[in-house]
Structure formats: structure tokens, C-alpha cells
Structure 1
Amino acid sequence: MENALVIGSSGGIGAALVAGLKGRGVATTALSRREHGLDVTDEASVSQHLEALEGPFDLILVATGALEIGGAAPEKTLKALDPQAYLAQAALNTLGPMLVLKHGLRLLPRDRPATFAALSARVGSIGDNALGGWYSYRSAKAALNQMLRTASVELARSHRQLACVALHPGTVATPFTEAYLGRHPAVPPAEAAQNLLRVIDGLTPAQTGQFFDWQGKAVPW
């Protein structure tokens, strides 16, 4: 891997991924809303920022996302379901990464192996859902998984050496998860980033359209 693009580089995991890639000697381009004004929920913003890049990138990794948007916490019960909170989750956690793929596709090579990866979450797994709750966040991540799977089918025709995947980073100790850790063990962002990069290292085009956790194990849809 020679060149990488990380979207969401100012977040805990995103910043650690940038540091991890640079530590490997990978030329890494970083973009975020906080540092560069990139808003993945605004297609014009995504287009403007990605059109300014040259590429090609061996890896495009989207590390954006949020559990809470506008103060709306994950729902504990159906009574808490709010249409605007749901739409905000879909805009950031589903459409955001897909807009990056839409406008970043030209930056991915067709003549050699490459990876497009977006951070998803195990709670977006329908098959693994035994606890309920978190309607909007779960649904937004499940929709992201479906969109990535669908894109992988299309892109297998134009980018035959591309692995287009969803990745679950595990529970990471960041401001993103601080209020929800409870008794769940969490790893530091640097460790999570190294775990994810090891998974990415092992990907092949045969695994495109799949959903993997930080150990490289397939997550049920």
C-alpha cells in the first residue's frame, strides 16, 4: 500500500488510522469536517473536496459517524423513536460514506488491488441483534451495510481488484462511545487502528461486499 485517503481524520479512530498508516510509511491524505470543512452529509461538500484530489489511492477509508446527533441519544424504547433523529442518523451514518464512494470512485485504481472500507458497527447486524433498542443507529448502519454490499456487486465489474467492505472496529475508548461503555471492555484508538489495518492487509477481491470485525471475522448481516 502506497497511498491512502482517510475521511473523518479528526475523530478518535480516524486520527489513529492516519497515524498508523503514516507510521507504516504510507502517504496518507486526511480529510475531516473539523479540520477541513468536509461535511459528508452535504453532497456538494463531498464533491468539492474529493474533486480537488489527484489519487489514485490504494485505500479509501471512511471513519465518520456518530451515536448522538443534535443531542438525540440512542433510543431505549420504541416510544423514543423520532423521525428527525432517524433522518439525521441516516444522513451521517448511511449516506455519508456512500457519497464518499460515489465521488471517490474515480480515485480508486482499476489496474491493481485496492480497498474501500467504511466503519460500520456490530449493532447494525440484523442477525446479531438480541438486545433491541437503538433503532435509528442500528438501522442506519444496517442500511450502510446493504449499500456497501450493493455497490460491491456493481464495482466488481468496473474495479475487478477492489475489496469494498464494512468494518466493525470493536468498542473503542473515544468521546464517541464514552457515555455508552458501561461494563464493556474498550481498547485505545491506536490499538483499534492497528487491528483494522491488519484486517485490511488481509483483504482480497474475493472478500468484496462482506462485513468484518476487528479480528477479521465475518459479521452476520
Structure 2
Amino acid sequence: MSFLDGNAITSLTSEGAENSSIINTLVIGASRGIGLGFVEKLLLDNRITKVYATYRDSESASGLFALLDAYPNKLTCFAVDIIDEEQIAKCVEKIRTDTDKLHFAINCVGILHDRNLQPEKSLRQINVENLTRYFQVNSIASVLLAKHLQPLFKHKENSVFATISAKVGSIGDNQSGGWYGYRASKAALNMLMRNVSIEYGRSCPKAIVVTLHPGTTDTNLSQPFQKNVPPEKLFSVERTVNQLFSVIEKLQATDTGQFFSWDGSKLPW
């Protein structure tokens, strides 16, 4: 039950009626890393009709803008800071002027470190400002997206709403501690999206909602922490995207609300 199947609609052409497939997709956090990789893959897939993509900072979105130049009719980009609900709402309204349905959306936005933000090694390093930022970006943003995207998933065609989570957000798998804010914000993300899956099950019954662990990917997010990662466990962006896309394409209706690893296995909460 792939979102790439079962989306046929009837359109009239000069030769008469024929079946065509319209598949609309959205990548949130597409300026670089996994998000940009998803945009590239979707643009190259002839089954995909439209790709919408968001970015926060134009200075770091040169790769996305290059794709926009190359695919002006297939790709549409929006500047959105997803911790700002008003910006999310305005973005979704712009999408809704163009289409009334999405078949695939993936939120790739996440934060692990920044200038004054580093994963905590002990309780001594915890402060309210950093914890708040972790939850704003890694948890709250996704449920705000789910709130405003809901009307675009209220249709009768297969669809998927996926969010990038992290294995370190698994409470059951946590054996080493540390990284308080990042771990807790990803655990909260998993719970929020589990809730979303239940509500979408009533209002958007053809939508599958999942969280995904991408593995350690060679991006700016993981770069300071790659030293002890075996080479075979450090994935290129292209490999990560291909692996996650394979998982997404194989999802069944009964998988909604679940937490999957890059290899398709289910992770403990």
C-alpha cells in the first residue's frame, strides 16, 4: 500500500478520457542534509507530480535553490521557521491554493547542537533555555505541522506523513543516558506523532503516520559525533534517503503510529 499506488484520477484530454496520476509531496526542512536528499530523489522520480519544500535560512539553501532553477515547474519552495505556527499556517494556505491534497510529507527538521547548544553529558549542564529549544524544534514543530496539514490528508488516496526521529529517543533502548534534551525531545516527538496517528485514523483514514530513525548520516547534525562511528555505520545522505524511502514505500495501513529504523525494523518506545 504505497502512496505511489492508487492515486489515479480521470482527466480529459484532446484525445478523450485517460487515467493520469497526480502525486503531491512536501519536504519540510529541505535546505540541506536528509531533507535536501529527499527533494532530489522526489524530483528525479517521474511518478511524482509536485514537490513542495520548506527552508528556514536562504543563506544555507543554495542547493535547494539550484534545484528550483532546474525544476521550476515541479518544485515550489517556501521560507518557513517551523517553530512559528503563523508561518506554518501561511505556508499550508499557499499550498492549498495550488492543491487540495498531499500524498506524502516528511519533516526532516531537527536540532542536536548549535553555537550555544550542545547535548548534555550530565545534569550539571542542563538549563531551561536549551531544553526549551530542543522541544520547540524536535517535538512541538511536528505536531503543529500535523495540525495545519490535516486538511490536505483528508482524501481517499493512500498517503504518508513521516517525521525523522532518532533511536536515542527510544526509552526502552536507552542504556547509556546523557543527551537529556535531545533524547527527551525525540521521545516526546514519538508520543505526539503516535497521538496524531490515532486522530488521523479517524479524520484521514488513508494516511499512515510514522516516525523514522535514519541511522547516523554524514550531515552537519552528526559531524561532531562521528569519531567513534564505524565507517560502515556512517551513511551518506543518498544512502539514508534511499533506505528510508524503501521503508516508506512498504508501509501498510497497520503500520500507522509506529517507529521504524532505516532497515525497516520496528523500534521500542
1:30 matched to 2:30: no
Distance 2:188 2:114 in 1: 18
Q: Name 1:207's counterpart in structure 2.
A: 255
C-alpha distance in 1 between matches for 2:89 and 2:104 = 18
1:132 maps to a residue whose letter is G
> Structure 2: how far apart are the matches of 1:116 and 1:16?
17
Aligned-pair CA distance for 1:31: 1.1
| Paired residue type of 1:195 | Q
String of CA shifts for 1:122-152, please: whole Å, max 9, x gaps. Answer: 0000000011000000000000000000111
Q: Is the 8 A contact 2:80 2:87 kept in 1?
A: yes
Q: Which runs of 5+ in 2 are unaligned?
A: 5-22, 59-77
Please list the CA deviations of residues 191-219 of structure 1 after superposition, one character each: whole Å capped at 9, or x if unmatched.
10111111110112211000001111101
In the TM superposition, what is the alpha-carbon distance from 1:106 to its structure 2 partner? Answer: 1.1
Look up the equivalent residue of 1:202 and give its one-letter code. Answer: K
Give the CA deviation at 1:70.
4.6
Task: Give matches, 1:15-26, under 5 Å.
Answer: 15-25=36-46, 26=48
Q: How many residues get paired?
A: 221
Contact 2:150 2:200 (C-alpha < 8 Å) held by counterparts: no
Report the AA paired with residue 167 of structure 2: R
**Conserved 8 A contact 1:62-1:97:** yes
User: What is the distance in 1 between the residues matched to 2:114 and 2:139?
Assistant: 14
- What is the CA–CA distance in structure 2 between the aligned matches of 1:22 and 1:109, rounded to whole Å? 24
Cα distance change of structure 1 residues 70 and 37 upon mapping to structure 2, 3 Å threshold: farther
Deviation per CA, 1:151-208: give whole Å up to 9, x if none. Answer: 1111111111211010011100011110011221311101101111111101122110
Q: Which residue of 1 aligns with 2:149?
A: 104
Q: Distance in 1 between matches of 2:238 and 2:52?
A: 18
Q: Contact between 1:69 and 1:85, CA under 8 Å: does it hold in 2?
A: no
TM (normalized to structure 2)? 0.80
User: 1:85, 1:173 → 2: CA distance?
Assistant: 24
Structure 1, residues 72-107: CA drift from partner, whole Å, max 9, x if none?
100011111111100000000001111111111111
Per the alignment, residue 119 of structure 2 pairs with 74
Letter in structure 1 aligned against 2:210: V
Moved more, 179-188 or 191-200: 179-188
- Runs (4+) of structure 1 exceeding 6 A deviation are none
State how far apart, in whole Å, the 1-side matches of 2:247 and 2:27 are. 16
- C-alpha contact (below 8 Å) 1:120/1:166 kept by paired residues: yes
Higher strand fraction (1 or 2)? 2
Whole-angstrom CA distance in 2 between matches of 1:207 and 1:149: 11
Letter in 2 for 1:17: F
**Sequence identity, in percent?**
34
RMSD, aligned CA? 1.1
Separation in 1, partners of 2:33, 2:255:
27
CA distance in 1, matches of 2:117, 2:106: 26
Distance 1:198 1:21 in 2: 13
- Determine the structure 2 residue equivalent to 1:83: 128
**Which blocks of at least 5 consecutive residues in structure 1 are unaligned?**
none
Of structures 1 and 2, the larger Rg is shown by 2
